[in-house]
Chains A and B, each alone.
Chain A
Amino acid sequence: MTETRYFPDKIFVDKQSLTFSLTERILKKLAHIPVEIVPDSDDVIAHFKKERDPLGEGKKHMLITRQKGDFVKPCPCTPAYLGCNYFIINADINCPLDCSYCILQLYLSNPLITVHANTGDLWRQLDDFLDEKHNRFLRIGTGELGDSLVLDHITARSTEMIDYFRSRPSALFELKTKTLNVDNILSARPSDNTVIAWSLNAEKIAQKEEQGAPTVRDRIEAARVVAERGFSVAFHFDPLILYPGWEKGYEAVIDALFTAINADCIAWISLGSLRFPLALKDIMRKRFPSSRIIYEELIRGEDGKLRYFKPLRLQLYKSVVDWIQARSGDRVPLYFCMESGEIWKKVLKKEPKGKEAIEHYLSLPFGYGR
């Protein structure tokens, strides 16, 4: 396995965040990197937004600041399609990997790799949130507005989070990554309610569209090691992308996955096809001119986002599900991210009544909801 770990060219520290212990830990760890203390992080963000490629420049710089809003939010999902009742923790924002299809290019107004260092507030907000939910089962994770592990060699957040959720067994905590940055995970004691998940794709898509990310084969190997350590693992085939030769590409990855990892260690596999708001198309065209993925037959879905014309999605999903089930039977729960009831029914032969039903379905293997 080979991996180049991320280190920023420069660190900006919001003056009010200097005294947080996470800030001190990062600055100690990255003592070789230039640091600038800034009175107001908004000025730094405004400066980067004027660059020709704010996103590309932002990725080279880290901002340590405080989360002024809520750390914990419901996953926004998308209107008119089925959600899964997931909750997200916005601890670190943005991602040094540069995937052509990444929604964060459009979604985030701050282009810098941002670490929210007020972890005291994070724990307090998580306590309040989980108490308010009266210890009902829920799924929660950090991988929505950034990769959960890409900064872990700098922040060591993963172990703190795993330890926190160990005492909160009603929550199923997920770390979602494309990286091989699992040293901290491997040194942590496995936890029944933590799942380490990898985003997978066809190797060709990973090479062409996921700049900075390790090969898919290496991701599967990292997952194998983590599973061997005793953690549950999960996989997200998202976004599934149509390209010439997609059938061979996805079948090969699924084959490699089940050759390396016993299906019983897999908590779930999610599937989602390429989808994005119209405005992302211009960004992708500009930032990734050699990418061809936006030129497939993408129509406007019921949520206004572009997605593959339904017969193409059905063909893609049915093939991938067939390959997965041919290797694992029904042992791995499969679910769709942001898809319609019709797709669920036609591909998975299930008709979930809503997001609570999907949440319930995914919780069963963990002994919840029985």
Chain B
Amino acid sequence: MTISSITCNARQGRFCCHQGFKKVSSCLSRFTPKKTSLRIGSMELKETELHRINFKDDRFRISYFVELDKLKRSIAECGLLSPLLTTPRDGDLVIAAGWRRALACRDLSFSPVPCFILEEPEDGKVFLLAVLENLAAKDFNVLEKAVVLKKLKAFGMEEALILETYLPLFGIPQNLSYLDDYLAISEFDAETKAFIHTRNVSYPVIRFLLELTREERAMLIPHLRYLGQNKQREFLEFLLETSQREDLSVREILASDAIADVIQSEALPSAQKADSIRLLLRKRRYPSYSAREEAFALALKNMEWPEDIVLHHSPFFEGEEFSVRFAFKKDAEFKDKVQQLHTIAATNRITELLKTISHD
């Protein structure tokens, strides 16, 4: 019987949890996986008491943010259907693959558990097996990729091989600067990693986080967590570019009057606070453009432009054209809007408006 047939049978429910596992396990003897390019040592399938597993040794662990509730429910009802992959180190067993399953079993005090015990002294080979086993089941997120690349390097894999083989496998461009970025991501503090995980932070935002110190990230994450991905990116882009442009630290910018007022405000809800800071940063990053936008809005207000007719300028005032948009349902509404525009056209209000925002 092969490993794949055991898994297959177990999934089809022919074996009932531990009883089933025992039947399967009795069919097995020590075996060596054949035709593997890794040339790993022999493996044995055994029922193992949980206390034999050293949970403190996470040398092969890839995922640090795991959700266990559903898995625990499954194990409580059906048992553990897929064995863990472990390897003996210093008298204990170390988990190579199946960390989620092992943690769920520990929470449930579910013991013994089925384990493949891999007799392979080289950590690098065991880790590769763990990586490939995990990859077959799911795509890695940014943090998991970072952990894998860091550990591959720590286990002695040459940069060139990582570049050739593993970056493409993880969908990362084959360039050493990307490897550098991922290695730096793996060194992020726990709060930053938790933020990236819980908010599913995009890679462009993570790139900005790499430019910040730990202290700066700690100041910003409480605000960033209330923003969507695009606004997170804008927030950090405006902030970091203003920092460069004005030669001020992030702390100094956040301490400036307008932003500090928002941060200290007790009236504003957190999400609104975060977005207000973003808008203040935008205004500071683009002072001329923001001033022109404000002048345009003020001019519309002063000329009592009808609220239900929208006058658009071109994006960033780059083009010379303006557009007018209004909605109507009935003939009378249409005529009313046109009449309002006609009234405006009869005055010199548009000329005044154009003067207000003229680039000359």
Beta-carbon contacts under 8 Å, A257-299 to B: 282, 286, 292, 294-297, 299
Interface string of A53-66 (1 = CB under 8 A from B): 11000000000000
Beta-carbon contacts under 8 Å, A298-312 to B: 299-302, 309-312
Asked if A309 and B286 sit within 8 Å, CB to CB, the answer is yes
Asked if A50 and B174 sit within 8 Å, CB to CB, the answer is yes
- Given A302-B318, A311-B292, A311-B359, the answer on whether A51 and B175 have CB atoms closer than 8 Å is yes
Asked if B319 and A50 sit within 8 Å, CB to CB, the answer is no
Task: Give the docked Cα–Cα distance between A295 and B286 (Å).
Answer: 10
Task: Give the docked Cα–Cα distance between A286 and B160 (Å).
Answer: 22
**B314 contact set on A, CB distance < 8 A:** 302
B180 interface contact, C-beta 8 A: yes
- What residue of chain B has the Cβ atom nearest to residue A294's Cβ? B241
Asked if A309 and B288 sit within 8 Å, CB to CB, the answer is yes
Asked if B288 and A312 sit within 8 Å, CB to CB, the answer is yes
A360 interface contact, C-beta 8 A: no
**A292 contact set on B, CB distance < 8 A:** 244-245
- Given A52-B176, A292-B244, A310-B318, the answer on whether A297 and B359 have CB atoms closer than 8 Å is no
**Chain B at the A interface: SS class:** helix
Beta-carbon contacts under 8 Å, B249-281 to A: none
- What residue of chain A has the Cβ atom nearest to residue B247's Cβ? A292
Selected contact of A49 from candidates B174, B286, B317, CB within 8 Å: B174
A183 interface contact, C-beta 8 A: no
Asked if B317 and A310 sit within 8 Å, CB to CB, the answer is yes
User: Which one of A49, A295, A302, A314 has the highest number of Cβ atoms from chain B below 10 Å of its Cβ?
Assistant: A295
- Given A49-B174, A53-B177, A292-B244, the answer on whether A299 and B316 have CB atoms closer than 8 Å is yes
Asked if B163 and A50 sit within 8 Å, CB to CB, the answer is yes
Task: Give the docked Cα–Cα distance between A310 and B244 (Å).
Answer: 22
Query: B27: shortest Cβ distance to chain A, in Å?
Result: 48
B320 interface contact, C-beta 8 A: yes
A136 interface contact, C-beta 8 A: no
Tally of A-B Cβ pairs under 8 angstroms = 61
Beta-carbon contacts under 8 Å, B314-360 to A: 314-320, 359-360
Asked if B359 and A310 sit within 8 Å, CB to CB, the answer is yes
Query: B172: shortest Cβ distance to chain A, in Å?
Result: 12
- Given A50-B175, A52-B175, A346-B359, the answer on whether A297 and B287 have CB atoms closer than 8 Å is yes
Query: B327: shortest Cβ distance to chain A, in Å?
Result: 27
B195 interface contact, C-beta 8 A: no
Asked if A314 and B359 sit within 8 Å, CB to CB, the answer is yes
Selected contact of A299 from candidates B163, B176, B245, B318, CB within 8 Å: B318
- Given A49-B174, A310-B359, A311-B359, the answer on whether A295 and B245 have CB atoms closer than 8 Å is yes
B65 interface contact, C-beta 8 A: no
Task: Give the docked Cα–Cα distance between A299 and B360 (Å).
Answer: 18
Query: A103: shortest Cβ distance to chain B, in Å?
Result: 20
- Given A292-B245, A295-B245, A346-B360, the answer on whether A52 and B177 have CB atoms closer than 8 Å is yes
Asked if B316 and A300 sit within 8 Å, CB to CB, the answer is yes
B289 interface contact, C-beta 8 A: yes
Query: B162: shortest Cβ distance to chain A, in Å?
Result: 11
Task: Give the docked Cα–Cα distance between A314 and B177 (Å).
Answer: 38
Query: B212: shortest Cβ distance to chain A, in Å?
Result: 14
- What residue of chain B has the Cβ atom nearest to residue A318's Cβ? B360
Query: B211: shortest Cβ distance to chain A, in Å?
Result: 9
Query: B174: shortest Cβ distance to chain A, in Å?
Result: 5
Query: B180: shortest Cβ distance to chain A, in Å?
Result: 7
**A297 contact set on B, CB distance < 8 A:** 286-289
A127 interface contact, C-beta 8 A: no
A342 interface contact, C-beta 8 A: yes
**B316 contact set on A, CB distance < 8 A:** 299-301, 309-310
Task: Give the docked Cα–Cα distance between A346 and B360 (Å).
Answer: 8
Task: Give the docked Cα–Cα distance between A286 and B184 (Å).
Answer: 15
Asked if B288 and A52 sit within 8 Å, CB to CB, the answer is no
Task: Give the docked Cα–Cα distance between A299 and B320 (Å).
Answer: 15
Task: Give the docked Cα–Cα distance between A54 and B174 (Å).
Answer: 11
**A286 contact set on B, CB distance < 8 A:** 177
**B315 contact set on A, CB distance < 8 A:** 300, 302
Selected contact of A295 from candidates B176, B177, B241, CB within 8 Å: B241
Asked if B176 and A51 sit within 8 Å, CB to CB, the answer is yes
Query: A91: shortest Cβ distance to chain B, in Å?
Result: 28
Asked if A342 and B320 sit within 8 Å, CB to CB, the answer is yes
**B318 contact set on A, CB distance < 8 A:** 299-302, 310, 340
User: Which one of A49, A53, A54, A310 has the highest number of Cβ atoms from chain B below 10 Å of its Cβ?
Assistant: A310
Query: A234: shortest Cβ distance to chain B, in Å?
Result: 28
Asked if B176 and A50 sit within 8 Å, CB to CB, the answer is yes
Asked if B359 and A54 sit within 8 Å, CB to CB, the answer is no
Beta-carbon contacts under 8 Å, B171-195 to A: 174-177, 180
User: Which one of B163, B177, B318, B359 has the highest number of Cβ atoms from chain A below 10 Å of its Cβ?
Assistant: B318
Beta-carbon contacts under 8 Å, A318-355 to B: 340, 342, 346
Task: Give the docked Cα–Cα distance between A296 and B360 (Å).
Answer: 20
Query: B350: shortest Cβ distance to chain A, in Å?
Result: 18
Task: Give the docked Cα–Cα distance between A282 and B207 (Å).
Answer: 10
Task: Give the docked Cα–Cα distance between A312 and B180 (Å).
Answer: 38
- Given A50-B175, A52-B176, the answer on whether A295 and B244 have CB atoms closer than 8 Å is yes
Task: Give the docked Cα–Cα distance between A309 and B314 (Å).
Answer: 12
- Given A299-B318, A302-B319, the answer on whether A309 and B289 have CB atoms closer than 8 Å is yes
**A282 contact set on B, CB distance < 8 A:** 207
Task: Give the docked Cα–Cα distance between A300 and B286 (Å).
Answer: 12
**B287 contact set on A, CB distance < 8 A:** 297
Interface string of B271-305 (1 = CB under 8 A from A): 00000000000000011110010000000000000
Q: Given known contacts A52-B177, A295-B241, A310-B316, what 12 new A-B pairs fall within 8 Å (CB)?
A: A49-B175, A50-B163, A50-B174, A51-B175, A54-B175, A292-B244, A297-B288, A299-B286, A300-B315, A309-B292, A309-B317, A310-B318
Which A residues have a C-beta under 8 Å from some C-beta of B?
49-54, 282, 286, 292, 294-297, 299-302, 309-312, 314, 340, 342, 346
25 contacts between A and B (CB under 8 A): A50-B163, A50-B174, A51-B175, A52-B175, A52-B177, A53-B177, A54-B175, A295-B244, A295-B245, A296-B245, A299-B289, A299-B316, A299-B318, A301-B316, A302-B315, A302-B318, A302-B319, A309-B317, A310-B359, A311-B288, A311-B292, A311-B359, A312-B288, A340-B318, A346-B359
Which 6 residue pairs are nearest across A and B when measured between Cβ atoms?
A: A295-B245, A299-B316, A52-B176, A311-B359, A295-B244, A309-B289
Which B residues have a C-beta under 8 Å from some C-beta of A?
163, 174-177, 180, 207, 241, 244-245, 286-289, 292, 314-320, 359-360
